[in-house]
Amino acid sequence: MIDRMKPITEQSQANPSESSMHTAGARIILMGPPGAGKGSVSDRLVDKFGMVHLSSGDILRAERSSGSELGETLKKYMDAGELVPDEIVIKIIIKSISSLDSSKGLLLDGFPRTVIQAKQLDDALAKMGLPIHGVLLLDAPEEVLLKRITGRRICPKCGRVYHIETMPPARDNICDSCGTELIHRDDDTEQVVRERINLYHKETEPVIEYYRKSGVKIIEVNADATIDEVVERAIEGIRQVILSEKKGKTS
């Protein structure tokens, strides 16, 4: 039985199967400006629920560092903080989604970022019979986003995310999980981050409206809080969406 006096994370640690039961198979799009904490929240949700995590940024970075011709094209856009053109990104990401086993649920992180991408994603997921359950929207004030991103360090091998002030690794600049030297992303400088935040307002915020109008549930989470609090709010929001979906099916 769910004890409403206890934080949901505590409950799920005490009885993981119960919380997982409510969110198993959830297909969620994670949205938010750069620095809202999408990467850290994804890691925690995936650890807890075992859903498949698909980060468009990670997939594009892997292609970029492969040395391919496509990788060189991606580098130009990514290092400048610009969006990769829709026709390129849609092809890469939809191909990745089709090859996944999403029976345990899906967490889409960083895709879609434009309304054109959202429409193409809807078409592809409809063909696969895997509609989206909800959009998890993280947000925080711009100064908070900037501070978070410019201090961010990432493990290039396992993808774990650190912050030089708020979440440093145990050994200076070395990943706690796999011992690899951490990197500061080329697009995590203040100037590039400002450009990425502007692009978010211009290109990605209309995607939220698109989903709202399509009747997809939007779970808004204030991400100006500790990671534990943000994850707790996110889990509760996803749980509510899945419960209302189940009720809708049975009523």
Helix (H, G, I), strand (E, B), or coil: what is residue 54?
strand
Give the footprint of ligand AMP on residues 140-199 (CB under 6 A): 187, 196
Tokens in use for 230?
Answer: 């943000």
Contacts of 229 (CB under 8 A, 6+ apart): none
**Shortest reach from residue 176's CB to ligand AMP, in Å:** 21
Tokens in use for 67?
Answer: 């040395």
Helix (H, G, I), strand (E, B), or coil: what is residue 31?
strand
Q: Given the rule CB under 6 A, which of 11-19, 82-90, 121-129, 161-169 is the region that contacts ligand AMP?
A: 82-90
Are 158 and 47 in contact by the 8 Å Cβ rule? The answer is no
Q: Determine if 56 is a binding residue for ligand AMP (CB under 6 A).
A: yes
Are 138 and 229 in contact by the 8 Å Cβ rule? The answer is no
Number of residues that bind ligand AMP (CB under 6 A): 18
Give the footprint of ligand AMP on residues 88-127 (CB under 6 A): 89, 110-113, 117
212 is catalytic: no
Nearer to ligand AMP, 82 or 122 (CB): 82
Q: Determine if 200 is a binding residue for ligand AMP (CB under 6 A).
A: no
d(CA 125, CA 130): 5
38 is catalytic: yes
61 is catalytic: no
Interface residue with ligand AMP among 77, 124, 176, 225 (CB under 6 A) is 77
**Shortest reach from residue 246's CB to ligand AMP, in Å:** 30
d(CA 161, CA 183): 10
| Beta-carbon count within 10 A of 62 CB | 12
Helix (H, G, I), strand (E, B), or coil: what is residue 138?
strand
Q: Determine if 83 is a binding residue for ligand AMP (CB under 6 A).
A: yes
Q: Determine if 32 is a binding residue for ligand AMP (CB under 6 A).
A: no
Q: Given the rule CB under 6 A, which of 80-88, 99-107, 137-145, 231-239 is the region that contacts ligand AMP?
A: 80-88
In single-letter form, the type of residue at position 183 comes to I
**Shortest reach from residue 141's CB to ligand AMP, in Å:** 18
Q: Return the closest-CA partner of residue 83 out of 53, 115, 105.
A: 115
Residues belonging to the active site: 38, 113, 152, 185, 196
Which residues of the chain form contacts with ligand AMP (CB under 6 A)?
A: 34, 56-57, 60, 77-78, 81-84, 89, 110-113, 117, 187, 196
